[in-house]
Structure 1
């Protein structure tokens, strides 16, 4: 397809920043919807309060595609998931259909359909259901990423820090399964889908080439850092649950009862559909650290 005018919501976040760069490098014009505009290519948007279709319609004039990369891991009064993950995306998608925006990309999360009733999963799933109800003329790509790795990503920095320690404290032995996906593969898949004039609406699990337990992943990251094998210490489940309960009261903590439940459920999928979207196999976590 020809170069497009693309509106990215959540453009200042980890995924949004990388998508903005990748799409501009591919020749597209990117308009960033952000809370605090900093240049002429930005528009002001408040994802906590812009929950009406009319509010988004005025921003979609001349827009060919919209990408929604807004997301938070913890629910809070300042960043309510019901608004950010459900109400605002529903208004945005409805406005896209009315304005004739031809393409929508939604960044969701792997496991939203697992039946685990966390606010994160249920609010994300509601947005996915809204996509599936759009008119056929509005084509969409919904990516469900596993843990995303990128050098500047918060989770990647945390895992590299943990991997670098001589002793690995592993929650419940580190048996939780993950299938880390590289941010470069996420961006490449989005760019390729947008450039394909015949692309169809699709829901794709965005995962790396192979799954690993948390222990295996940290061991691999440590090996890539050229460190000697670490000593493994299993943290009993009771202590992990207690730490999660404490995290429930600390909004900045990445560990809480909900994140623990989602982690314990596992985070893996068949990579075949993502490989087809990419046009090549996705990268393996065994080669993420360069």
Structure 2
């Protein structure tokens, strides 16, 4: 058996590839950037071939036909949760899979496993679910054996949704739409992988749709509390009911940030809930799926808890540092008596026009540092901003220590407070993601 995994560089596709590789299965994996995907793969590559395929470009059936063989098992794990460009849902979830499924039928593949989503339907309210539903409907009409698996929220320690829910779980106060009464039925990544592997090995002869869900529905607020207990917090967080309209408005605002999990689409999906019977999934697993109360292993709970705290504390810390620099500008430029500021500069040897220039220039520089802390990318913050802030603080501290050492004894601590400020900046610097070399995008070309 050869398994073709479309979208093998994604969260689910990578997990499927690892599982099949452990069984010695021959793999053909697709990715937009196969060079990078192969380099980042966590499984042995001896039996893995890579193919460049960008579903946003909607490769036609003829492209897929050139790479498919009779008897293949094809797993479509490609998907996006949020549109980065208009029409991405339709291209990646609907039109490109339709071309793939038609090619599978013509090539005589043994089975197509379509990773859809719980709630997918052509008449669904969200564009995400409608695009998935259109592809599911087309696959059911194709002359090829198929399994349409529809996972609920998938928990995997490295998954974006799991990291979001872990971050929410550790918060002491939560504002949840409707108080968090929405039904969910989260499923563990290992169970999703086991279900797909079982289907691939069994190769069912007819088309079927299977909900990949946890053993039973759970309310959103209870789900977060159960995660919170697994992360080491005994007490339930305070829950503030949030009106639906306000939640949707906040989601639209959050959607303007490209790194946000929440936007108008995902907010609507959360409000609709997400649950289904687990009987078919249990049958294919040969056991009950893992309960959400056992998602976090004891040996990994502390690392996940720290990561969850950092995930929401680091942005708060960055904004706090930015406000310190901006407030320093506001105070220096006029709120603090200007004659007193000039008197302080005189004590370090700057008087007259030079003092005026230094005061105004330093204030504007502080403002630039504050704005940069908010606006610059992570790469520029790591390369320039954080070392510049630390260097400037070190210079200020050294100059004041030399000219006005009594400030170390001041009860308000104007100098000693630089120590935790420097530690905060150093932490932000250390936690920036590593800078990657420029990526080479491999695009499928219709002329090839």
TM-score range, shorter chain: over 0.9
The aligned counterpart of 1:204 is 210
Deviation at 1:59, TM superposition (A): 1.6
Shift of 1:147: 0.3
Residues 132, 248 of structure 1: CA spacing in aligned structure 2 closer, same or farther, 3 A cutoff?
Answer: same
Q: Match of 1:82?
A: 90
Change (3 A) 1:51 1:180: same
Shift of 1:79: 7.1
Give the aligned partner of residue 267 of structure 2. 260
Task: Evaluate the alpha carbon distance shift between residue 10 and residue 78 of structure 1 in structure 2; reply closer, same or farther with a 3 A threshold.
Answer: farther
1:239-278 counterparts in 2 under 5 A? Answer: 239-278=246-285
Provide Cα deviations, 1:116-159, integer angstroms capped at 9, x if missing partner: 33211111011101111111xx2111111100001111110111
CA distance in structure 2 between the partners assigned to 1:50 and 1:77 by the alignment = 14
Q: Distance in 1 between matches of 2:87 and 2:80?
A: 7
* TM-score (norm: length of structure 2): 0.61
Deviations 1:225-264 (A, max 9, x none): 1212122222232321211222344444322222222211
What is the alpha-carbon distance in structure 1 between the residues aligned to residue 121 and residue 203 of structure 2? 29
**Cα contact 2:53–2:59 (8 A) shared by 1:** no
Quote the offset at 1:266 in angstroms. 1.2
Secondary structure of 1:41's aligned partner: strand
Say which SS state the counterpart of residue 204 (structure 1) adopts: strand
Aligned in 2, Cα 1:198/1:15: closer, same or farther, shift over 3 Å? closer
Q: Which fold has the larger relative contact order, with Cα–Cα distance below 8 Å and residues 6 or more apart in sequence?
A: 1
Which ranges of structure 1 fall in alignment gaps of 5 or more residues? none
Match of 1:12 in 2: 9
Match runs of 1:118-197 below 5 Å: 118-135=126-143, 138-197=144-203
Distance across 2 between alignment mates of 1:29 and 1:79: 34
Distance 2:186 2:257 in 1: 26
Contact 1:5 1:62 in 2 (8 A): no
Q: Aligned partners of 2:287, 2:280: CA distance in 1, in Å?
A: 10
Deviation of 1:198 after TM superposition, in Å, equals 4.9
CA deviation vs aligned residue, 1:198-220 (integer Å, no higher than 9, x gap): 55421001100111111000000
Q: Secondary structure at the match of 1:267?
A: coil
Quick check: 1:234 aligned with 2:241? yes
Q: Which runs of 5+ in 2 are unaligned?
A: 39-47, 298-448
Tell me the distance in 1 between the aligned counterparts of 2:58 and 2:30: 11
Query: Which residue of structure 2 lines up, in the alignment, with residue 28 of structure 1?
Result: 25
RMSD of aligned residue pairs (Cα, Å): 1.8
What SS is found at the alignment partner of 2:58?
Answer: coil
How far apart, in 2, do the equivalents of 1:16 and 1:164 lie?
A: 29
Match of 1:91 among 87, 93, 99: 99
Which has the higher mean CA deviation after the structures are superposed, 147-156 or 165-174? 165-174
2:320 equivalent in structure 1: none
1:106 matched residue in structure 2? 114
User: For residues 162-196 of structure 1, what are the alpha-carbon distances to aligned partners after superposition, in whole Å with 9 as ceiling and x for unaligned?
Assistant: 11122222222111111000110111011111111
Compare the two structures and name the one with the higher strand fraction. 1
- Residue 148 and residue 131 in structure 1: after superposition, are their counterparts in 2 closer, same or farther (change >3 A)? same
